Amino acid sequence: MPELDLPQRQAPDSFMLTGFWYRALPADRVHYSHLEKAMLLEIPLVIGRDRANQPFALRDACPHRGMPLHGGHFDGENLECSYHGWQFDVHNGQCQLIPSLTADQKLRVDRIYAGSYPCEEQDGFIWVYISEPPPAGAGFTKPAEAAEPSPQIEKFSDKYKLAYLTADMPVSVDHGIIGLMDPAHGPFVHQAWWWRSRHSIHEKQKNFEPIPNGFRMSAHTPSSNSAPYKLLRLYAAADSITTTIDFVLPNMRTETIRAGKYWFSSLTTVTPVTRNHCRIEVVAAWNIFRWMPFGPELLKFVFARFVEQDRRTMETQAEGLKYNPHLMLIDDADRPAKWYFQLKAAHLEAKRTGAEMKHPIPGPVTLKWRS
């Protein structure tokens, strides 16, 4: 492998992978009485809940003449466009009524569909399945079916707490993701007196292995710098703690920490909003601080600090990226970033050829860096 790899500058339409579930909105922001707007992969969506509280997602453009549907009238079942009053079933997008038709005009109304997307509520978020190829916004396309249910956070007991954080990043999903998996920025971006300083940099060695569609930083990493890990050490012996961090296409980082009967799980996603804009969402579930007075607040504070530091960094980075500078990825600190691009390329290649995806990581490998 060459020492310096020029970054693969990807075609704009390959920045955003279709055929996956994406987080659209926090579930507590979507109410029966109000239609919400959202944007995923440059697709404008209208998201709401029906009378039975079931969420739905439609393309926010009427198949007649493109009027945004979020301004229409919703009766809990059908959404009526505000321009000419066409009505659509919110769960499959099927047209129910075209008021201008006279009795002898035989247009088959039920063959017309507004773009409709599989939609599920999971762990505090509304997830939307962006099918491939994306259904046309207008016309006669029936909604696609999702290949699998939306991703879930792994939980290890019945009782647990759940919290989320979200932040907008003015960079492509690729920069959002490689920024998330990058170990070398920690001492420079995430400084705090109660955390660490740049003088605490030391050599680290981590084991990685391939997993379907991604890679895993193997269990048991006693020198981890992760926030919940440090907090967990307050009341569990360091050597009884195991942690696993996975990255899986298109955009998911899961972290699982277990210490006896205590556990902490998080699922962080970086969602492509447009080709130059992504959103990071951290959702965590845990049973560890339930009895500790400031546990959840402390955890949220630590995470919020981290995410805000990353957000500010990427905001500044976006200035530097504006005029398309040359970039590089170095070993070993940027190896996970290289794997991400290789996974993405392998995924697209498999899609193109119809063959099984060729995993770019041949087997277990140890990476070394200073951070």
Of the residues 310, 334, 335, 371, which one makes contact with Fe ion according to CB under 5 A:
310
Identify which of residues 86 and 264 has a Cβ nearer to ligand FES in the complex: 86
Which of Fe ion, ligand FES, none lies near 196, with the C-beta cut-off 5 to 8 A by kind?
none
Between CA 274 and CA 318 the distance in angstroms is 14
Of the residues 32, 83, 156, 160, which one makes contact with ligand FES according to CB under 6 A:
83
Q: How many residues bind ligand FES (CB under 6 A)?
A: 8
Least distance (Å) from Fe ion to the CB of residue 175? Answer: 12
Identify which of residues 317 and 342 has a Cβ nearer to Fe ion in the complex: 317
Identify which of residues 62 and 346 has a Cβ nearer to ligand FES in the complex: 62
Task: Find the part of the chain contacting ligand FES (CB under 6 A) among 37-45, 77-85, 316-324, 351-359.
Answer: 77-85
Identify which of residues 109 and 219 has a Cβ nearer to ligand FES in the complex: 109
Identify which of residues 64 and 359 has a Cβ nearer to ligand FES in the complex: 64
Of the residues 84, 198, 312, 370, which one makes contact with ligand FES according to CB under 6 A:
84
Task: Find the part of the chain contacting ligand FES (CB under 6 A) among 29-37, 51-59, 82-90, 328-336.
Answer: 82-90
Which of ligand FES, Fe ion, none lies near 84, with the C-beta cut-off 5 to 8 A by kind?
ligand FES
Backbone dihedral region of 76: left (phi > 0), alpha (psi from -120 to 50 degrees) or beta?
left
Which of Fe ion, ligand FES, none lies near 36, with the C-beta cut-off 5 to 8 A by kind?
none
Least distance (Å) from Fe ion to the CB of residue 254? Answer: 16
Q: Distances in Å between the alpha carbon of 257 and those of 57, 147, 285, 366?
A: 34, 29, 11, 21
Which of ligand FES, Fe ion, none lies near 310, with the C-beta cut-off 5 to 8 A by kind?
Fe ion
Of the residues 41, 46, 62, 241, which one makes contact with ligand FES according to CB under 6 A:
62
Q: Is 300 in the site for ligand FES (CB under 6 A)?
A: no
Task: Find the part of the chain contacting ligand FES (CB under 6 A) among 37-45, 59-67, 158-166, 288-296.
Answer: 59-67
Residue number closest to Fe ion, CB atom? 310
Give per-residue burial for 220-254: e unless 16+ CB within 10 Å, then b. ebeebbbbbbebbeeebeeeebebbbbbbbbbbbb
CA atoms within 13 A on the CB side of 212: 1
Of the residues 8, 19, 32, 64, which one makes contact with ligand FES according to CB under 6 A:
64
Q: Is 86 in the site for ligand FES (CB under 6 A)?
A: yes
Least distance (Å) from ligand FES to the CB of residue 273? Answer: 25
Q: Is 255 in the site for Fe ion (CB under 5 A)?
A: no
Of the residues 58, 81, 173, 249, which one makes contact with ligand FES according to CB under 6 A:
81
**What residues line the site for ligand FES (CB under 6 A)?**
62, 64-65, 67, 81, 83-84, 86
**What residues line the site for Fe ion (CB under 5 A)?**
310
